[in-house]
Amino acid sequence: MLGLKVQWPLGVLVLGLASTIIAAQELQSTPLGQISGYKFHMATAQDQPKHPWLNPGPPGRLIERNHAQKKKQGEQQRIQLEQPIKVIPVWIEPLPADMAPHGGGLEAEINVNDKVVAVQLAVQAEVQQRRPRLPMEPEPATSSSQPTLSDDQLLAKVRLDPKDGKALLEFIRHRTLKEDELEQLQKIIKRFGADAFEERIKAVRQVERFGAAALGPLKAAIKDSDPEVSYRAQQALQRLETIPQTQVMAAVIRALVQQKPPGTTAALLAYVPLAAEEEILLTALREALTTLAVGPDGKADPALLAALEDRHPLRRKLAMLALIEGGPADRTIRVPDAYPRVRQAARQETHLETRFAVLWTLLLITRQNEFLPDLLALIPSLPRGHLWQLEDLLLQLTDHQPPPGGRFLKDPASLAKARDAWMQWWKEKGQHLDLATFRYQPRIQGITAIVEVDVRGYAQGRAFVLGPDMRESRSVTGLNYPCDMKLLPNGHILVAEMNTSRVVEFDANGTQVRAQFINQQPFALEILENGDIQVICRNNVYLFDKQWKQKQLYSRPNYDIVAGCRLPSGETLLIRNVAQGSTGFRIDAQFKELRDTHSFARMNHLQNVEPIDNERILVCEYNRVAEYNLKTGKLLWHYNCNNPNSAQRLPNGNTLITLMNDQPNGRVIELDPSGEIVWEYQPKDPGLRPIRAWRR
């Protein structure tokens, strides 16, 4: 057996490549603990027949925690393959499902001569059973889910009465840090990446003394570029978050709005920076502050007015939005006495994200033309997601007739020219627009959902959302070949996981809340207007209601469906490969097969089709993306590329294409009608490749 060997003065660790084995020479104590769903034992020759090794797994990573010269900024120690040395093996036993914690890799800390050395293996926490051969007749889909707790149940977990305003206020104040305390906490978290082992351990202990107040900064630290900082932040979170703190805090915020004890607005504003990485909490805070913005006398809450000049941009942002939104439908200016201050604060705002968000909201709520040139001036500096939002508005204002040079291309110079073109348009025509009668229907929210598969076979795929600021706002990791994802109205993420034959629902924090076992290899999802869920598999199409009760089923015996989508008419187009190409056929809304067929070029499995409207469709063929007219079969447009995986026609006329096989690591591109690439995304992890991307 070849092994990975690292030689230290204190001992030797070997990780087997032929099987998932941890071994150590000169071990002074037995490995202890139950970590990521496994139990560790010292093994002898007599144990092997009784406890067979696990199936071969991927190569592992060895990280020595007390190494004096830790590699910085994500560099991994290179470990050379050598002939194995004499070892004492440790065998690994999977725990029962009810004892195994949910999680990704496998990790153990082994004591070698009284020095702690950590061993990490990039393997799945759950040992998947080999799936039996599927029967010709489909088995009923089954599901498992975690109960959704009500606010009262969540508050009961921390012994809070939802009607006790004083106790609710004290709860949130106890978990709020002052500015200097927050800065101190963030500095300590940075020390998670210190060179000295003792310094890293000391920093973790200091952070944990902050208790629940450290949860928000720790969740932000998980995304740190230094893997040591990210790792220790995850470990601290696991020890601190013994209850669903995010959901509990959201329930506390909603209960405070109901009770309105004195000082509520100020307490919520003070807590805002700690929720910066928590979308659930930011939504709850935004709604709460909007509700509390105006007192019984119609005046703005003084705490919100004071927050307009706060040092923290997120506080300023939520304060301004609270004073703009939430008014009656017939009143464009919600708080007349505060409006001049909000308008002035928006124009003086130096933080780009805050400035755009407030100006954008002012334009849409007040319908005042004066804010449009302020937004146009930001074009060269805006994140791409906000550019997509602004472009959607401008195209609707001009009936999709932008001024010459007004297209938003890729490089900064072209964006500066686009800004100048739109400013000239504003001078000539924009000032005469009547926004009060203009009906703007947002087609783009500025978010992009991307699915990535793990090409190493480690089941570490992920699905994530890039927000309008182009930062990851939501993500799910540890997926076993995800093929599609959809965003649910409640903010949850629905993922089709092909290798486990299930559709999994995750909350906004990436926690699994439900798994629907399809028993078929699902690869395409669709959420209907009434909340029903359609799932397309290799030989079946399912329709479920919101509670995942099966309503309809279409079944084929040949496992030959390679792609499919639901059409705007309610019919479903399914595509199967034949000898010289692909044949498409449709089933109606009652899942009855129709006679008509459609011919396309050859497609690979996991290439998708996407409707543009009732007649046109985008098809990812073997060497191109093609647009067809379904009624005539005529090819209308194509873009040559290597094995495209997904394509979407955007409201601005551009096309979003996923190219899993583009070198070096695949990419997602946005093409304008002329074929020019105006935006692209490339994975940072070389082991992950994008397989789907959707703009919303």
Torsion angles phi and psi, residue 497, rounded to 5: -105, 105
- The bridge status of strand 34-35 relative to strand 540-544 is unpaired
pLDDT beyond 70 at 116: no
Torsion of CA 235, 241, 242, 248, to 10 degrees: -170
Cβ neighbours around 62 below 10 Å, total:
19
Distance CA 118, CA 401 (A): 61
| pLDDT for 349 | 97
pLDDT average, residue stretch 665-684: 95
Distance CA 205, CA 674 (A): 57
pLDDT above 90 as % of the chain:
59
Q: Say which range, 68-72, 221-225, 453-457, has the weakest mean pLDDT.
A: 68-72
| pLDDT for 145 | 58
| pLDDT for 119 | 38
CB proximity list for 33: less than 8 A, separation 6 or greater: 40, 108, 109
Nearest CA to 79 out of 123, 16, 1, 18 is that of 16
| pLDDT for 191 | 92
Provide the pLDDT confidence category of residue 240 given band limits of 50, 70 and 90.
confident
DSSP letters, 562-606, are: EEEEE-TTS-EEEEEEETTEEEEEEE-TT-PEEEEEEEE----TT
| pLDDT for 245 | 86
Residue 608 and residue 645 in contact, taking contact as beta carbons nearer than 8 Å: yes
- Please indicate whether residue 12 or residue 677 has the higher confidence score (pLDDT): 677
| pLDDT for 30 | 32
| pLDDT for 480 | 94
Q: Say which range, 121-125, 578-582, 671-675, has the weakest mean pLDDT.
A: 121-125
Nearest CA to 286 out of 334, 339, 250 is that of 250
Ordered alpha helix ranges (H), 501-583: none
| pLDDT for 495 | 97
Mean pLDDT of the chain: 80
pLDDT beyond 90 at 422: yes
- Structure tokens, 673: 């009608």
Per-residue model confidence as pLDDT tens digits over 383-421? 999 999 999 999 999 999 999 999 999 999 999 999 999
Q: Say which range, 153-167, 211-225, 271-285, 316-330, has the weakest mean pLDDT.
A: 211-225
pLDDT above 70 as % of the chain:
79
Provide the pLDDT confidence category of residue 45 given band limits of 50, 70 and 90.
very low
CB proximity list for 460: less than 8 A, separation 6 or greater: 104, 122, 454, 477, 478, 479, 687, 688
| pLDDT for 68 | 31
| pLDDT for 579 | 67
List % helix, strand, coil for the chain (3-state, nearest 5). Answer: 30, 30, 45
Residue 620 and residue 607 in contact, taking contact as beta carbons nearer than 8 Å: yes
Distance CA 6, CA 20 (A): 17
pLDDT beyond 50 at 675: yes
pLDDT beyond 70 at 276: yes
Residue 600 and residue 619 in contact, taking contact as beta carbons nearer than 8 Å: yes
Q: Which amino acid is at 585?
A: F
CB proximity list for 484: less than 8 A, separation 6 or greater: 451, 495, 496, 522, 523, 524, 525, 692
Distance CA 211, CA 674 (A): 55
Distance CA 134, CA 57 (A): 25
| pLDDT for 126 | 30
pLDDT beyond 70 at 695: yes
Q: Say which range, 19-28, 580-589, 599-608, 628-637, has the weakest mean pLDDT.
A: 19-28
pLDDT beyond 50 at 177: yes
Distance CA 598, CA 582 (A): 8
Distance CA 372, CA 481 (A): 44
- Please indicate whether residue 9 or residue 590 has the higher confidence score (pLDDT): 590
pLDDT average, residue stretch 521-547: 94
Residue 54 and residue 19 in contact, taking contact as beta carbons nearer than 8 Å: yes
Distance CA 447, CA 491 (A): 13
**Distance of CA 657 to CAs 524, 576, 678, Å?**
16, 21, 12
| pLDDT for 509 | 79
Per-residue model confidence as pLDDT tens digits over 570-609? 999 999 887 667 789 999 999 999 987 899 988 887 789 9
pLDDT beyond 70 at 73: no
CB proximity list for 173: less than 8 A, separation 6 or greater: 267, 270
Per-residue model confidence as pLDDT tens digits over 338-385? 999 999 999 999 999 999 999 999 999 999 999 999 999 999 999 999
pLDDT average, residue stretch 317-346: 94
Per-residue model confidence as pLDDT tens digits over 127-163? 233 233 333 334 445 555 566 789 999 999 889 999 9
* The total number of residues written for the chain in this structure: 696
Match 């495209």 to its residue by tokens.
Answer: 644
